[in-house]
A and B are shown apart, each in its own frame.
Chain A
Amino acid sequence: MPREAFERSIEEINARITAMGAATVDALQKAMFAFRERDLDSAKKIKKADVLIDIQQLEIDDLIATTMATQQPVAKDLRLLLCAIQMASDLERGADYAAHLAKATKFFVQEPQWRQTEILEQMANIGASMITGTVNAFIGRDAQLARQTSLLDDQIDHLHKGLIKEMVLLLGTRPDDAEKVTKFIQVSGYLERLGDHMTNACESILYMIEGIHVELNT
């Protein structure tokens, strides 16, 4: 079978992207847990998980480079590999934001629970859904799911903007907490950018499937 080696590579890429997606969702959920519970031990573990996700990305890149060099793919096959590179890169960035979120825990260890943490949790949950939807759209070559998933980014953006407004008001009433408020806004920004990266990944999935560049959620 002339395509056997190529199909084997694609199966392996699918499996690795799936694993990377699962690891990124896990890191995000655990980071959110650590942040909410002020759990520094859990937060440290996210850093280690992030290193492993970085390695996963490099391994996927190597696998794709080998497939390109040995199989010289064109057309749909080429677009699939280009998309897989983008997927791995966006998932890696997603995991970085999870690690940043975990790292921010230390700024709030002495703090009582902030009401706005609930908003961050909502954003993290939507972010996790976006990661899952993106990976499923990639594996299933599902353009409709990619489009649906990218729409979730609007919800994250909406929550992020609302949270910034609240934080600005908070600054007026609690000027001594300026540093923590700023950090909180930063954390919200990490989750907002995670949504952007998943939208990017969805765009590259549409390019893989349809062969045209589509700008989603502009």
Chain B
Amino acid sequence: MMQETTTRPSFIIETKDLSIIYGDGHEGVKHVSMGFQERNVTAIIGPSGCGKSTLLRGLNRMNELIPGTRTLGEVWYSNKNIYGPSVDPVVIRRHIGMVFQKPNPFPKSVYQNIAWAAKAHGYSGNMDELVENSLHKAALWEEVKDKLKKSALALSGGQQQRLCIARAIALQPDVILMDEPTSALDPIAASYIEDLISELRKDYTIIIVTHNMQQAGRISDNTAFMLLGDLIEVGPTKKLFIAPEDERTERYLTGRFG
């Protein structure tokens, strides 16, 4: 028999038959098996309630913070199932960080926002350097370098969101999960974040949930479409937006439902 020679893309995270069930018995994510390519942007799209944010939170065990939620199946990261018995979710969340829809800086200084999170996770290196590097990577340094001691809450919404990204970066993650990171921002602030995502993909794997299909089209390499908890289709964004394979994807993208 011939050896199979097809090359598989390298996945940094891979779900296997992942189901996430809420306390009321509602199955938010149903038997999803998919891989996320390293140093790529993957967008998850779908109508409200399709399970995209639930899936995202399932990738770093954030659903456990919702009482009654059960997770079945596996999520493989760094050669282990993150739902395995000996895995510390806090460690997982350091490696697989998250940025939320609404910017949520701590009510502390710009500097402390980054330093606190790093310190809490045991960082003992040069803190000034870490803060500056993280802010540089989040394309925020030039705007805040003279305001490091000022309250983070005094920054604009877009700056606060980039600060949250800097905070996630300070933990030196491999993966950054983003749950509609621009939906609370004006178009210009959103475009800064989009540019930043394109820059960050050189060093990190980004998985983003978005309601904005044009945004998914602009910034992602791959797109996954979900509907009623099912993963309907996943593939290169260009392919999905021009010639999707599944009729349901076609109908959603062209606004025939959702």
Q: Which residues of A contact B (CB under 8 A)?
A: 2-3, 6, 72-79, 211-212
Contact = CB atoms under 8 A, between A and B. Distances in A.
A75 B255 contact: no
A115 B250 CA distance: 54
Given A75-B254, A76-B254, 19 more contacts: A2-B255, A3-B255, A3-B256, A6-B255, A72-B214, A73-B254, A74-B213, A74-B253, A75-B241, A75-B242, A75-B243, A75-B244, A75-B249, A75-B250, A75-B253, A79-B242, A211-B242, A211-B243, A212-B243
B157 interface: no
B6 to A, nearest CB: 21
B255 A78 contact: no
Interface string B237-257: 000011110000110011110
B89 interface: no
B217 to A, nearest CB: 7
A73 B255 CA distance: 9
Nearest to A3: B255
A79 B213 CA distance: 17
Which secondary structure characterizes the binding site on chain B? helix
A196 to B, nearest CB: 25
B219 to A, nearest CB: 15
A176 B254 CA distance: 63
B250 A76 contact: yes
A78 B214 contact: no
A78 B217 CA distance: 13
A78 B256 contact: no
Nearest to A207: B243
A3 B258 CA distance: 12
Contacts of B249: 75
Nearest to B256: A3
Contacts of B255: 2-3, 6
Chain B, interface residues (CB within 8 Å), range: 10 to 19
Contacts of A212: 243
A74 B256 contact: no
Contacts of B243: 75, 79, 211-212
8 contacts: A2-B255, A3-B254, A74-B217, A74-B254, A75-B244, A76-B250, A78-B241, A212-B243
Nearest to A82: B242
Most chain B beta-carbon neighbours within 10 Å: one of A6, A75, A79: A75
A6 B256 CA distance: 11
Contacts of A72: 214
Nearest to A73: B254
A92 B241 CA distance: 29
B254 A77 contact: yes
A2 B255 CA distance: 7
A212 B245 CA distance: 11
A79 B255 CA distance: 15
Contacts of A2: 255
Contacts of A76: 250, 254
Most chain A beta-carbon neighbours within 10 Å: one of B213, B214, B250: B250
A82 to B, nearest CB: 9
A211 B244 CA distance: 8
Contacts of A74: 213, 217, 241-242, 253-254
Interface string B17-48: 00000000000000000000000000000000
